């Protein structure tokens, strides 16, 4: 079974530029997550989709970050304009369901995109 | 108080010893608990999930959950140098959908 795919793996941009990341979840997984991981910290949820609807975007900086999941499969996360503090690894994860005391809510991560903002 | 707390380490154990990693969480209603392993420069890899009080064993790994004490731990038996990584504790809080709250991670170093 193929895992979560992400691209690009690395991106270097200058501040105030824009950047976009792509994610393809595990086949059949309805729930997709974007996390931001700053060096030395645990991942922090930016946005959660259930199929193509947003479940939680409470920690997404909406003045500069946007995300979409058209057709309930692939997703893109965009930053415009980027700031120095956006330098981080952006992780996409997916799960069969969103929650519950069941293995169906186990989240599996893609390889991530390492973003450097100069 | 942080929602999920871990000792940042580093925790150093000799090869063949038992490594014990600990995690506490603040929301008593949390229902799902996960341990991820993250090698340097790589993404988190799920190694254990636990949902009810007690122990859950998988190979050399044992997860222990005590909801009354709001405590979850991971034991690694017969530690190997290849176990050297950062271990992330993640908790699915009550009424938060699928959102996971991660601790900052504990760095484990297994010395040959």
pLDDT tens sequence across B11-39: 999 999 999 999 999 988 888 999 999 99
Residue A37 pairs in a beta bridge with A89
Higher pLDDT pick, B2 / A64: A64
B97 to A55: CB separation less than 8 angstroms, yes or no: yes
Please tell me the predicted confidence (pLDDT) of residue A100. 67
DSSP state of B5: E
Establish if A99 touches chain B: CB-CB under 8 angstroms.
yes
Q: What is the mean pLDDT of chain B?
A: 94
Q: What is the mean pLDDT of chain A?
A: 94
Tell which of B41, B100, B102, B105 to mutate to test the A interface (max A CBs under 10 Å). B100
Residue B68 reports pLDDT greater than 80:
yes
Establish if A45 touches chain B: CB-CB under 8 angstroms.
yes
Q: 3-state SS string over A4-54?
A: CEEECCEEEECCCCCEEEEEECCCCCCEEEEEEECCCCCCEEEEEEECCEE
For A57, nearest residue in chain B (alpha carbons)? B99
Please tell me the predicted confidence (pLDDT) of residue B99. 85
- Confidence at A99, pLDDT banded by 50, 70, 90: low
Establish if B22 touches chain A: CB-CB under 8 angstroms.
no
* pLDDT above 70 coverage of chain A, percent: 96
CA–CA separation, A11 and A114 (whole Å): 6
Establish if B40 touches chain A: CB-CB under 8 angstroms.
no
Residue A102 reports pLDDT greater than 80:
no
B41-60 confidence digits (pLDDT tens): 999 999 999 999 999 999 99
Question: If contacts are CB pairs under 8 Å, which of residues 13-32 in chain A contact chain B?
Answer: 31
Please tell me the predicted confidence (pLDDT) of residue B31. 86
Return the structure tokens found at B92. Answer: 């699915």
Please tell me the predicted confidence (pLDDT) of residue B7. 86
Reduced to 3 states (helix: H, G, I; strand: E, B; else coil), residue B80 is coil
* pLDDT above 90 coverage of chain A, percent: 85
A11-68 confidence digits (pLDDT tens): 999 999 999 999 999 999 999 999 999 999 999 999 999 988 999 999 999 999 999 9
For B100, nearest residue in chain A (alpha carbons)? A45
């Amino acid at each position: 079974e193929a895992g979560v795919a992400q691209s690009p793996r690395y991106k270097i941009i200058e501040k105030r530029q824009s950047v976009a990341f792509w994610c393809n979840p595990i086949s059949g997984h309805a729930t997709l997550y974007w996390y931001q991981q700053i060096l030395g910290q645990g991942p922090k949820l930016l946005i959660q989709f259930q199929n193509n609807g947003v479940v939680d975007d409470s920690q997404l900086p909406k003045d500069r970050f946007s995300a979409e999941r058209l057709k309930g499969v692939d997703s893109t996360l965009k930053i415009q304009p980027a700031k120095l503090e956006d330098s981080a690894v952006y992780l996409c994860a997916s799960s069969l369901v969103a929650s519950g005391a069941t293995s169906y809510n186990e989240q599996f991560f893609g390889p991530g995109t390492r973003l450097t903002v100069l | 108080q942080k929602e999920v707390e871990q000792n940042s380490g580093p925790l150093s154990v000799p090869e063949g010893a038992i490594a014990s990693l600990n995690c506490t969480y603040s929301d008593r209603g949390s229902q799902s608990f996960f341990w991820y392993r993250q090698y340097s420069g790589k993404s988190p890899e799920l190694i254990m999930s636990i949902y009810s009080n007690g122990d859950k064993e998988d190979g050399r790994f044992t997860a222990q959950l005590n909801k009354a004490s709001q405590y979850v731990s991971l034991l690694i038996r017969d530690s190997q140098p290849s176990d050297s990584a950062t271990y992330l504790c993640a908790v699915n809080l009550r009424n938060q959908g699928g959102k996971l709250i991660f601790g900052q991670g504990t760095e484990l170093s297994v010395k040959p």
